[in-house]
Amino acid sequence: MHQGLVGFAYTDNRGQWRGFDVDFCRATAAAVLGDANAVRFVPLSASDRFAALNDGRIDVLWRNSSWTMSRDAGEGFVFAGINYYDGQGFLVRRSLNLNSATELNGARVCVQSGSTSQINAADYFRSRGIEYRPVVFETEEAARDAYGREDCDAFSADISALAAARTVLTNPNEHVILSDVASKEPLGPVVKAGDERWASTVRWTLNALMLAEELRVTKASVEAQSKTATDPRVRRLLGAEGEFGPMLGLSKTWARDAVGAVGNYGEIFERNLGSQSALDLARGLNAQWNARPAGLIYGLPIR
């Protein structure tokens, strides 16, 4: 879990964990144990997150981690899916009147070490023959604070993280995220290689939440639909027919329990990142595949 990123994983004024990734953790606990609160959150830095997974200190990493070939094929981890399609961007002061990151020639750019952001920023400027000065910090929070102190001219990270960072700056409206997208960042849950059953459990829990939105199964309606639905897709999702949960070693109501705990994918998004949140992010690529305009969220079929 992230140590503190508005919208994704943070503690409220009562010390309760909240956020997009937090809700997926709770959904996993509900699917596996029937209790959304049967989860222990372990806040980790970017540099510690994969070591913690490898050492067995955590069972699953839900922490805005990008699915890359080196992590998936070279480091002994398995990405169980993608819950957020992101890209790296640049946050700058509105007063600079910049239209593009290509205008940052000679600029100081704050980035976090141990993340893909540092590599992506270097690739972006190198491929365009632009000189820049990287200012590297151990944590995203430290990089953001340095930008806030004007120790650098731009802050580069995932666009969702920049949106979160802007909300906690002294005057958010004085800062703008440039339109440039420097990379593709498919974010999702990670498990240690070697336990295919566990990887499948995490993967299908994520897919169940996506499928629930597509089939219009919500937190408020899930119990009633489990009894009255006639659509075979909904009945299979909610355990009214078939033996899909037991295929994973779970109860027949695993998906119903997950949706009942946190809602479907769209509810999780809107509550934490979308119109009901301080970030007010558009669905964009994270809209359903059959939405208008269409996105990339595509729940795998349960059949």
Domain regions of the chain by residue span = 87-184
Instruction: Answer yes or no: is pLDDT of 74 > 90.
Output: no
Convert the pLDDT of each residue in 18-36 to its tens digit: 999 999 999 999 999 999 9
pLDDT confidence of residue 64:
85
CA 61 to CA 44: how far, in whole Å?
A: 10
Where does residue 272 rank: exposed (0-12), middle (13-18), buried (19+ CB within 10 A)?
A: buried
Instruction: Answer yes or no: is pLDDT of 100 > 80.
Output: yes
Asked if the bond preceding 293 is cis, omega within 30° of 0, the reply is: yes
Q: Judging by DSSP bridges, how do beta strands 133-137 and 185-187 pair with one another? A: unpaired
Q: How confident is the model at residue 55 (pLDDT cuts 50, 70, 90)?
A: very high
pLDDT confidence of residue 159:
94
CA angle 188, 13, 111 (to 5 degrees): 45
* DSSP 8-state symbol, 284: G
Residue 202's closest CA among 29, 55, 22, 10?
Answer: 29
Residue with the two structure tokens 């595949």: 289
Q: How confident is the model at residue 75 (pLDDT cuts 50, 70, 90)?
A: confident
> What percentage of the chain has pLDDT greater than the value 70?
100
- The 3-state DSSP composition of the chain as helix, strand, coil percent (nearest 5) reads 40, 15, 45
Instruction: State the DSSP H helix or E strand holding residue 211, giving kind and residue range, or none if neither.
Output: helix 196-214
> What percentage of the chain has pLDDT greater than the value 90?
88
Class for the domain spanning 87-184: alpha beta
Where does residue 20 rank: exposed (0-12), middle (13-18), buried (19+ CB within 10 A)?
A: buried
Instruction: Answer yes or no: is pLDDT of 115 > 80.
Output: no
Instruction: State the DSSP H helix or E strand holding residue 175, giving kind and residue range, or none if neither.
Output: strand 175-177
Give the chain's mean pLDDT.
95
Instruction: Answer yes or no: is pLDDT of 127 > 80.
Output: yes
pLDDT confidence of residue 47:
81
Q: Which 3 state secondary structure label does DSSP give 241?
A: coil
Query: Is the Cα torsion angle 120, 124, 125, 126 positive or negative in sign?
Result: positive
CA 79 to CA 175: how far, in whole Å?
A: 34
Instruction: Answer yes or no: is pLDDT of 294 > 90.
Output: yes
